[in-house]
Structure 1
Amino acid sequence: MTKYLCVFLIVCSIKIYSQNEDNATSFQNEALPSILDTLQDRFNIKFSYLDEAVAARKVNLTLVPNGALEPLLDSLEKQTGLKFIKTSDTFYTVRAFMPSDTIAICGYLLSEIEEPLSDIEIFIKETKTYLYTDSKGYFSGDNIPYGSAILVSATGFRQRVLRGKAFIKEDCPTFILTESIQELDEVLIQEYISTGITKTGNEIKIDLDDVSILPGLTEPDILQAIQLIPGINSPFETASGIYIRGSAPHQNLVLWNGIKTYHQGHMFGMISAFNPYVVDQVNIYKSGVDPTYGDRIAGVIDIQSDTAIPEYTTGNAGINLVNADAVVHTPIIKDQLSLQVSGRRSYTDLVETPTFDQLSDRVFQNTTINTVSDFQNDTNDFYYEDYSAQLNANLSTNSKLNFSSLYSTNNLNFERRNDTLTLSDELRTENEGYRINWEYQPGRKRSYQISSYYSKYLLDYQFITDNMGVLVENERKNNSVRDYGAKITTTYSWSEYSKFTSGLEYSNNAIRYAFVTTTPNFELVLDEDDRTLNTYSVFANYSVSEPKSYRFAVGARLNYYEELDQIVVEPRLQYQKHLNNYWLVHTTAEYRTQAVSQIRESVISDLALENQIWTLADRQEFPLVTSYQLSTGSTFTKDKWFIDAEAYYRKIDDITTLTAGFINPIDNTYNQGSSSIFGADIFIKKHFENYKSWISYSYINSKNQFEAINNNSAFPGNWNIEHTIKWSHFYETGDFQFTLGWLWHTGKVYTNVAGVTQEGEILLLDYNEINGSTLPLYHRLDFSATYDFTLGSNKEVRYRLGASILNLYDRENILNREFRISNSFNTRFINDDMYSLGITPNVSFRIFW
């Protein structure tokens, strides 16, 4: 009897189940609007949506009697990639996922043979946070921005970039990581100094969207961030005064979207002239420069803004204690055309803040602005501004066109007056540039790039003496640069392991400078020059790599300087060898030339600011500067330890006492010579979960040798700072970031005075050995903190508060020391010591949308 009862119950259950299945409604490849109408009727709800957002979508769905609504909406989200938002008990909004929407993600990471990958680092780009896989390769995270790139990095595997939509389509998907078939160093050094700063071979890349805060900065100043790299210094605490391995700032090639720039600072170098919120990435080379780059002998700083066309209008705006700015990037034609514009201006001519006061004390010391005089009334109006615009166009799937422009200016008007006399210092600098660039890639193996640029720089200084409205004297200094050119580059990849790049480049450079004194009765030209140089270049580079083994690149650049009637071949060589998955060695060799240089003016202005002017090489006074550099080093990375060490030797020939920034204290004769530089950089970093610390040590020995100076013997270079230590700490908790940095280095060299001799009304200085003395030790501590937050339920608008303090313990450092005799009737001995910034606070507020 029991047996028959069991059979009866089973049959009944099958019948009931069949009836439920028979009552189920299935939709196959059904239009989404029709499905939504059905759900509205069945569940007595209402959907709000844009017709164009749902009209073309087809879905599959099965409706079971008495089934719940939420599983159905989850299924629709996975199939359509649309977000269903419950706004009340009976009302739902349907829209596309926004980049700022947050989702929960989970997944598994497996190798190609389906083995779990444990302890793999997963970086959430938008929030700058990390996830890690467990022993089963599983990872998960909440409140992940839908639009954020999710970077998966594992030693020996290709980096993989995931997006939020990959997690919407299915629950906890499985991702397969394939073995790396790229150069291993791209995987090894995923984070160099800080998040967003990576190192690939000899190229250091800064991604401004990802970079964490840096010591002493509330905002990611581009040129200040570069100075954290070992081997890069700024002896005078300026942003734009970047000395790479003993070379002067004017020997660096600084590009903005392919536009050569000749002035990179605001506030006389204290602030970078490039708005960091416009920049997408910066590529930096200390050595091993690709032959596609020419025109300079030292480092390369290649700044690039975003060329991708956004789906929505994005932007940000902010203010700190010195300037305010705004950036907007908006699509004009969906997926085809966009425009990015930015503007930044200081308000220092309207309001003087504690930050501006400290910067002013640093900049204007030892100038007429800070000199006590008999004049009772004085005014100092100063401001800076910069603007940029970029138009991005996708002409087709394999063709892009970009137009970029940049403009920056600094303006100073210092006036002092009494009842009859008015003295005015007027100083203006301008940097302006434009570039159009076309990229075409007809297939995987070939690509072409054609670009043309125009760059202009102007320095205009006037010292005007006015008596009762009548001009008495006008002393004027003027320097202008006009540079335009074009470039064609072709790239062909024989395989995924080898590539050949070649191209042609032309540039026309016209530079003029003049020192003129004008009175109502005469005009006196103290010094002037006006030159033009046409340069024709051919370059080629071949690179080949064997995965997990080596990478080799060899190339050359041939330059023909027309007005100099000179042909120069610049060979370039790079080689790196992987000893294992954690350790590689590398070496570079290069020869480069430079035809444009800055010279320290021999006519000292009354204002004593911007006393560097650009000039061109000629066949007499200023020869073509040449340089070769050799470097070798090793990199080790394992278990979140990163160690990098490199030694180098550089020889620079055909420099002059003026291009070397050296005004001979013994006599004023003009001399040619050379510079030899030997140095080494060591960098060590350890990354913990929320904390990381890195320390670097740099050694440099720079020697100059000029004919008929110092008995033809070598002496230390003007910018030689023998030992430098940089130690930084970074800690992140929740939405807060904190960073602390300590900078220590030996003092800069200078020429000391042994005594002062007076012959009548004339004073004569007796000097000791040239650059034989050293300033006291320099050190300072910098601190920064930021807090990111949103307000209310609006997650699409984000806010950031930042605070920083430079020179936290208010150390008084001497940056430079020079001695001179005044040019007045009352001749006197003057000791011009330049002191560093005192304790300098700054606060910033920013909004992102």
Structure 2
Amino acid sequence: MLLKIYITAIVLFGFLSLKAQEQTAVIPFLNTLESQFDVKFAYKTEDLEHLKIRSATFENLTLALEYIQEKSPLEVEKLSDRYIALKLKTSTLSYCAILKDATNFSVLAGAEIRVTGTNQGGISGSEGQFQLRDIAPSAELEISYLGYERLIVEAADLISQGGNCKELYLKLQDFELPEIVVSRFLTRGLQKSVDDQFIINSEQFGILPGLVDPDILQTIQVLPGVESIDESINNINVRGGTQDENLMLWDDIVMYHSGHFFGLISAYNPNLTKKVSVIKNGTPSEYGGGVSSTIRMNTENEIGTKISGGVGLNGLSADAFIQIPLGKAVALQLSGRHSIADQLQTPTYQAYFKRSFQDSEIEDENNTSLEDGAQSDFKFYDYTAKLLVDLNENHKARVSFIQISNELFYAEQNAATANVTKTSNLDQQNIAIGGNLSSTWSANYSTFVNAYLTKYNIDSREFFTESEQELLQENEVLETGIKLKGIQQIGKNLEWLHGYQFTETGIRNGTRVSNPLFSQRQKDVVRSHSAFTDLTFQSSKTFLRAGLRASYFEKFEKLRLEPRLNARQKLGAHVALKAQGEFKYQTATQIIDFEEDFLGVENRRWILANDNDIPLIRSKQFSGGMEFKKNGWLLDLSAFYKNVDGITASNQGFQNQFQFIKTSGSYEVKGLEFILNKTEKKYSVYLTYTFSTNDYQFESLIPDKFPNNTDLRHSLNLAGNYSILKNLDIALGTTYHTGRPYTVPISGVETISSGNGRIVNYASPNAENLDDFLRVDASVNYSFEAGPIQGKVTLGALNVLNAENPIQQYYIVNPEDTTRALAIRNNSLGFTPNASLRINF
């Protein structure tokens, strides 16, 4: 059967190719007639440059003109024996085609046809036929049909002559069932799938309060259960987890860094990132690691027919991107973004800089500069490239590259002599390259092969001029991986996914001091082999995916099983029940240093599990709930339980009596998530709320159970967006959560002796909470068009009320009175205005 389909497809391809070869462009065709019959044709080049006509030979000019009149949309007017005028038959010009399945040649009724850049379009009829009128031959038609790949054709190729319509063949799309969207909510381009994934479509993305660009990792924080306790993208907490428990994938490449400006903005350019998926539970078995969540970012994967791109400028950076078709089967995508602080330090930059360097050598606890004569230079940039090659209709290759970089230089000066006394450098990079090959072998079976190399490093250097002492620290992650998977369609409703993945992760940590000479370096490597399988059943009312991932870790000689389950059942037209569950393991984690050196900036370093004092992190979580959807209303309610074991005290960021203790333990989260959303054509209003309790369990600590550093009992987002005019949108929103836990000194005995010094004498850990966090954000967006140019101007502000929100508090021994403890409090961003101008073509 497969052989018959393959032979039929080859014959069809050859026939279509032959038909295409019989067509020729109209203008060269006319040039041939001019030479043959010694005549001149007069016409508008723009009317004819997209037209084609079937090649033919003629005995005389009269037959040739009759042929043009009959077989093309041109009207012939003979001005003299030698001069002939041609113009479009605008009153009768029409376009038509018949849409068919490329595999079984059945007609496709109900497909959507849209004229790119306009509101014109139509739907294919019961016989797969559609017809359009009054469209320029140069126009592009975009044809889409659920379950099939999008097709883009030029209108000129579909000009109807004598009622003959061209047949167009759509190919089945190689997609995963969970990506079928069941609901749009919160704003345009933010959607929810049948398996409870949250999906962000960057191309269609609307407006959110405070954001002037669709920052990927800022956007996901409006989702219930997704927080950042310190406003940092480097610290995204999903259902109470830490940042290192999130698996970050960019074009199927594992990424170990996520933010610019020390985590205040996303490091991933949204203009070529077409789709972002956030999975909190019930993860497909092909994804390992990331015990809290999986965040997948995918760039544009289709080859366009025209050059497109854009440039943008906001208060922090300038960026550009371009997509260049190098033929019908090859395309190149490029993007770049660079900070503008070296040219202009905007109020946005100043607010972010102040927030980033609170309580550091650059800013003291009062947020004032310690050295008026100090020199500083900070910049960030990211670049991406992607090569798309369609080897043929059934085999597509893609190669992606990304570089993310943050660089900081700081030089301290002696106030009296103006001589440099100390220089500090911080360089942080993630460079990665990956490639994949997707193949469709039949209507029921496809495969996907992916391989990647990712390298992350952070290098810190300090040089003390007087002592000529140099201090270096480095943290490097080098990971390679390969994944092979197959997808077998079994009947109408059943799909089987299966595959194998190999990963090798090496992490190196080093410290070197030049005077006195000291050097320490450690490198660890973990290799894992994983087999995975999912069986997915989906009908109009039922979705069920059951899977298993089995991973063998060479270094520990251990096999670990990770069952996965994701289910959804509709009860009538408006109500559905859902349930998810999963087990996961993770080998890499971060430890957090709060050091006086290296500018006092928090330093996160990756380390690998050794199955001893750094165990494999393992998680189990379950969730269930219901969804109601009717007349633009969406109500979504989920209860969840999560337990994560194998965490270390070093990666929790303690700044109390446990800061320098090395031990392992667990945490347990129980909670409830709630979404209420009303969406209409012109507006969307939403409320997201999360209630949770999150507690540590460390058997070797006293007490052994206490609140988690990320324990936010109540968290709420209330916001809305409204289209005032066709091109003018506004958004206003409020973010609220209870204060994070912190530890206070014992009253009356705030410090105690320790060796030759004194330390803070802390009371019960995390027994107090900071003041509640409340922030109001706003944005306004205006879109405009000028020919092929689409523009957008966005104004936005975070914390428009300039509220003082504490996000962290800890204590040090007061240098002026060592019997007292001095509170160090860091606040959130103050009033932070921003503006963006974007031009796309």
TM over 0.5: yes
Change (3 A) 1:218 1:603: closer
Letter in 2 for 1:727: L
CA distance in 1, matches of 2:751, 2:799: 39
Q: Say if 1:52 and 1:621 are closer, same or farther in 2 by CA, change over 3 A.
A: same
Q: Tell me the residue number matched to 1:635.
A: 627
Asked if residue 477 in structure 1 is aligned to residue 473 in structure 2, the reply is yes
Question: Which runs of structure 2 are paired with 1:87-102 in the superposition (5 Å)?
Answer: 102=118
CA distance in structure 2 between the aligned counterparts of 1:373 and 1:801, rounded to whole angstroms: 35
Q: CA deviation at 1:64?
A: 11
> Per the alignment, in what secondary structure is the counterpart of residue 711 of structure 1?
coil
Taking the aligned partners of 1:150 and 1:724, their CA distance within structure 2 comes to 43
1:329 matched to 2:329? The reply is no
1:825 to 1:429, Cα distance in 2 relative to 1, 3 A: farther
CA distance in 2, matches of 1:821, 1:411: 32
TM-superposed CA distance for 1:763, in Å, is 3.3
* Contact preservation (8 Å) 2:791, 2:840: yes
Alignment partner of 1:189 out of 176, 179, 182: 182
Partner Cα separation in structure 2 for residue 574 and residue 830 of structure 1:
50
- The 8 Å contact of residues 268 and 363 in structure 1, kept in 2 or not, is answered as yes
Q: Give the Å deviation of 1:374.
A: 7.2
Name whichever of 55-64 and 554-563 sits farther off.
55-64
Tell me which moved more, 472-481 or 811-820.
472-481
Q: Which residue of 1 aligns with 2:713?
A: 722
Amino acid at match of 1:489: K
Is 1:506 equivalent to 2:502 in the alignment?
A: yes
CA-to-aligned-CA distance 1:634-665 (integer Å, 9 cap, x gap): 11111111111111100111211112333551
Q: Where in structure 2 are there 5+ consecutive unaligned residues?
A: 1-21, 34-40, 56-67, 78-85, 99-112, 166-174
The residue that corresponds to 2:95 in the other structure is 78
Distance 1:528 1:622, change over 3 A: farther
**In 1, distance between residues paired with 2:529 and 2:815?**
46
1:594 aligns with 2:593: no
| Matches of 2:592 and 2:74, distance apart in 1 | 82
Q: TM-score, normalised by structure 2?
A: 0.82
**Deviation of 1:829 (Å):** 3.7
Taking a change above 3 Å as real, the CA distance of residues 162 and 437 of structure 1, as seen in their structure-2 partners, is closer
2:406 maps to 410
Q: 2:446 is matched by which residue type in structure 1?
A: S
Give, in whole Å, the separation in 2 of the partners of 1:498 and 1:504: 21
Match of 2:342 among 337, 341, 349: 349
Identical counterparts, % of pairs? 26
- TM-score (norm. length: structure 1): 0.81
Quick check: 1:268 aligned with 2:262?
yes
The answer on whether the counterparts of 2:505 and 2:525 sit within 8 Å (CA) in structure 1 is yes
Q: Deviations over 1:712-739 (max 9, x none)?
A: 3x21100111101101111112111211
Distance 1:202 1:781 in 2: 28
- Structure 1 residues 630 and 796: alpha-carbon distance in aligned structure 2, compared to 1, 3 A threshold: same
Q: Who is 2:229 aligned against? A: 235
Cα distance in structure 1, aligned partners of 2:624 and 2:710: 23
Map 1:450-465 to 2 at 5 A.
Answer: 450-465=449-464
The match for 1:17 is none
- Determine helix, strand or coil for the equivalent of 1:377: coil
In structure 2, C-alpha distance between the alignment counterparts of 1:752 and 1:62, rounded to whole Å:
83
Distance in 2, Cα, partners of 1:312 & 1:646: 44
Structure 2 CA distance, aligned partners of 1:541 and 1:227? 29
In the aligned structure 2, how far is the partner of 1:241 from the partner of 1:100? Answer: 40
Aligned to 1:486: 482
Between the aligned partners of 1:388 and 1:63, the Cα distance in structure 2 is: 46
Task: Determine if the alignment matches structure 1 residue 731 to structure 2 residue 722.
Answer: yes
- Counterpart for residue 311 of structure 1: 305
**2 CA distance for matches of 1:51 and 1:108?**
28
Correspondence for 2:351 among 351, 358, 365 = 358
Equivalences, count: 755
Paired residue for 2:38? none
Partner of 2:766: 771
Q: How does 1:149-548 map to 2 (within 5 A)?
A: 189-200=182-193, 201-333=195-327, 335-371=328-364, 375=371, 377-418=373-414, 419=417, 420=419, 422-467=421-466, 471-519=467-515, 522-525=516-519, 528-545=521-538, 547-548=539-540
Distance 1:199 1:669, change over 3 A: same
Deviations 1:325-356 (A, max 9, x none): 110110112x2111111111102123211000
Q: Which amino acid aligns with 2:710?
A: W
Tell me, in whole angstroms, the C-alpha distance in 2 between the residues paired with 1:600 and 1:275. 27
Which amino acid counterpart does residue 43 of structure 2 have in structure 1?
A: K
Contact 1:104 1:140 in 2 (8 A): no
SS in 2 for 1:358: helix
Partner residue, 1:3: none
What is the Cα deviation at residue 583 of structure 1? 1.2
RMSD: 3.8
CA 1:159–1:815: 2 relative to 1, 3 Å: farther
Contact map agreement 1:762 1:827 (CA 8 A) in 2: no
Bigger shift: residues 670-679 or 360-369 = 670-679
**1:124-163 matched pairs, under 5 angstroms:** none
Q: In structure 1, the residue corresponding to 2:44 is in which secondary structure?
A: strand
* Change in 2 beyond 3 A, CA 1:560/1:823: farther
Do the aligned residues in 1 keep the contact of 2:76 with 2:87 (CA within 8 Å)?
no
Q: How does 1:10-49 map to 2 (within 5 A)?
A: 33=26, 46-49=43-46
CA contact (8 A) 1:150 1:163 kept: yes
Shift of 1:190: 3.1
Give yes or no for contact 1:440–1:447 (8 Å, CA) kept in 2. Answer: yes
Whether 1:620 and 2:612 are equivalent positions in the alignment is: yes
Aligned residue for 2:561? 569
Tell me which amino acid in the other structure corresponds to 1:280. Answer: K
Q: Give the Cα separation in 2 of the matches to 1:454 and 1:187.
A: 30
Q: How far apart are 1:52 and its partner, in Å?
A: 7.0
Residue 652 of structure 1: which of 637, 644, 655 is its match?
644
Take 1:500 and 1:106, find their aligned partners in 2: how far apart are those partners?
A: 35
1:785 aligns with 2:780: yes
Report the CA distance between 1:268 and its aligned residue: 0.3
Give the SS at the match of 1:230: coil
Give the direction of change, closer, same or farther, for the CA distance of 1:76–1:380 in structure 2 (3 Å limit): same
Shift of 1:70: 9.8
Q: 1:52 to 1:267 in 2, by over 3 A?
A: same
Q: Distance in 2 between matches of 1:98 and 1:272?
A: 33
Residues 1:797 and 2:797 aligned together: no
Cα offset, 1:164, TM superposition: 9.5
Matched residue type, 1:431: N
What secondary structure, in the 3-state scheme, does the structure 2 residue paired with 1:650 have? strand
Structure 1 regions of 5+ residues with no counterpart? 1-28, 39-43, 82-96, 113-138, 174-181
SS in 2 for 1:352: coil
Deviation at 1:165, TM superposition (A): 7.7
Q: Alpha carbons of 1:269 and 1:149: their partners in 2 closer, same or farther (altered >3 Å)?
A: farther
Shift of 1:412: 0.3
Q: Distance in 2 between matches of 1:407 and 1:703?
A: 37
Higher mean Cα deviation, 770-779 or 730-739? 730-739
Contact 1:216 1:805 in 2 (8 A): yes
Distance 1:643 1:36, change over 3 A: farther
Tell me, in whole angstroms, the C-alpha distance in 1 between the residues paired with 2:732 and 2:119.
33
Distance verdict in 2 for CA 1:475–1:447, change over 3 Å: same
Q: Distance in 2 between matches of 1:30 and 1:397?
A: 21
